[in-house]
């Protein structure tokens, strides 16, 4: 079903949609691969599913993130990874996910190539959160991330180089890194927000 939201229509018109297979076999070199689902409710002011990662996780504990995860051998495409992980982590059935498009893949500070899959979902949902993955899951208005007053770039060093890393301060939550970069790029497409990341966060143009 086509989106009724003008914001989602704009995203569908502006974002490429390519559900082709992963480019390389799982066992071959390059960055380890992952995919996230950027799930947007079909309403005039869409909300996006975000979660606070469980504190016991070895990577990114307590950080705000999208549902998603590492590519598995049985996943033929990034969309397959994003759908499988979303079902496992937040109970979002694949039948409720309508692809709108993709943002170009990004590299995390821990060395993953992340493919953001942007999708339409129904307004009314009953999510089932896996406590092994998220401490909590919430719906956040997408337009929040188009507000330049909440957006900043912060110099961060890993010991060998310094990068300007995007951050959003939303209430007590600091959303940063690849999650913030995805939200900023999406806001630029959806709302012409004009947020400047000051570097190429993408793997390829």
Provide the pLDDT for residue 56.
Answer: 87
100 sits in which H/E element: strand 98-102
Per-residue pLDDT for the chain (205 aa), expressed as one digit of tens each?
Answer: 788 889 999 999 999 998 888 877 776 667 789 999 999 999 999 999 999 988 887 677 889 999 999 999 899 999 999 999 999 999 999 999 999 999 989 988 778 899 999 999 999 988 999 999 999 999 999 999 999 999 999 988 777 777 889 999 999 999 999 999 999 999 999 999 999 987 655 544 3
Separation between Cα atoms, residue 123 and residue 146, nearest integer Å:
21
Provide the pLDDT for residue 3.
Answer: 87
Closest C-alpha to 182, from 8, 38, 70? 38
In Å, how far from its chain's centre is CA 185? 10
In Å, how far from its chain's centre is CA 182? 6
All structural domains of the chain, each given as residue ranges with its CATH number in brackets, are 6-20+31-146 (3.90.79.10)
Strand pairing class (33-41; 113-121): parallel
Instruction: Report the chain's terminal Cα–Cα distance, integer Å.
Output: 30
Q: What is the phi/psi pair of residue 19, to 5°?
A: -95, 40
């Amino acid at each position: 079903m086509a989106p009724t939201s003008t914001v989602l229509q704009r995203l569908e018109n502006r974002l490429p949609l390519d559900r082709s297979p992963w480019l390389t076999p799982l066992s071959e070199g390059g960055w380890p691969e992952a995919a996230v689902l950027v799930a947007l409710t079909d309403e005039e002011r869409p909300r996006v599913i975000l979660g606070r990662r469980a504190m016991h996780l070895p990577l990114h504990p307590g950080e705000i993130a999208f549902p998603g995860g590492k590519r598995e051998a049985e996943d033929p495409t990034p969309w397959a990874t994003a759908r499988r992980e979303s079902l496992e982590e937040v109970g979002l059935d694949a039948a409720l996910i309508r692809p709108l498009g993709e943002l170009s893949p990004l590299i995390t500070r821990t060395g993953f190539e992340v493919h953001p899959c942007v999708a339409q979902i129904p307004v009314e949902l009953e999510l089932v959160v896996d406590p092994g993955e998220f401490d909590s899951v919430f719906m956040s208005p997408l337009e929040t991330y188009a507000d330049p007053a909440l957006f900043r770039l912060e110099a961060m060093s890993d010991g060998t180089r310094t990068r300007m890393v995007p951050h959003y301060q939303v209430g007590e939550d600091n959303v940063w890194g690849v999650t913030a970069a995805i939200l900023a790029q999406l806001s630029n497409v959806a709302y012409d927000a004009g947020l400047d990341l000051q570097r190429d966060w993408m793997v390829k143009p």
